[in-house]
Structure 1
């Protein structure tokens, strides 16, 4: 089967084809994300297999035919239909040959700082929603601080107000961990609603960095 065989007359199925899929290299390391449509094409070409993320055979891999069999019994609205098959949208694929990890620099953005810090205020240690968080300059700008990975942390509004334009120790506060540029992960750069697939957690969480401030 080739990509052109995928027929998606329903709007819901068209949306399914644009959902993100986590891409693992052949060593099962996360390296990228792609659309469901792209993932299906890679599987059709034999460049990848679909990773099962539910049931007793979790993490078993499938080609498109065995994946279609595994998908039987699911609601039709959850299925992508082709000329020959109907199957669930994959969540994870593993590449057959590629075994490297691409070197990518994480773009400095507000959202990526929040992702690096897991939505945790780096002063009080509490978890918040994005709407209740700000970015704080560890060394204030009026003291020469720059807007860089190693000088910006996630801060709740209360802690941000308390610290104001002081150094942390001047405000009687301390950092949970020393900020630095994060190692790239597929989740960086994705909109939050596209980055919360629970089936990805097993592969993404081990990469989370915890660099504690010493002394």
Structure 2
């Protein structure tokens, strides 16, 4: 359930951003106390208010999740392990925080372990050729941002 004061919180964040205030972690915590929410909610507000509206949304719809599950099955595209249904996630190859979008060429199935270790870094998925066959510029972008070519255990 959304916070009852979400509109006031976003308005407050928008005013701060409009004044050119850099909202660091400490300030996110302080705003969170004022509006009884987490620092993550403030981060989401900042992303929503500052993202380029001409770009696709970074949020993955249920329909998109289903398409990715059908394409990748239950095979982690980083380490190759097969996971049970609840042990894998649909995740951004290039994270939303780094400009990643919720499109098939930027989404893969990952096991919980790889997803946790990967964090905000960019790894090259095993199926990169298949997922970017019609988007070679995105393949190049992934390769430029990649920090690891494979999972490190």
Give TM-score, length-normalised by structure 1: 0.31
Q: Which has the higher helix share?
A: 2
Larger radius of gyration: 1
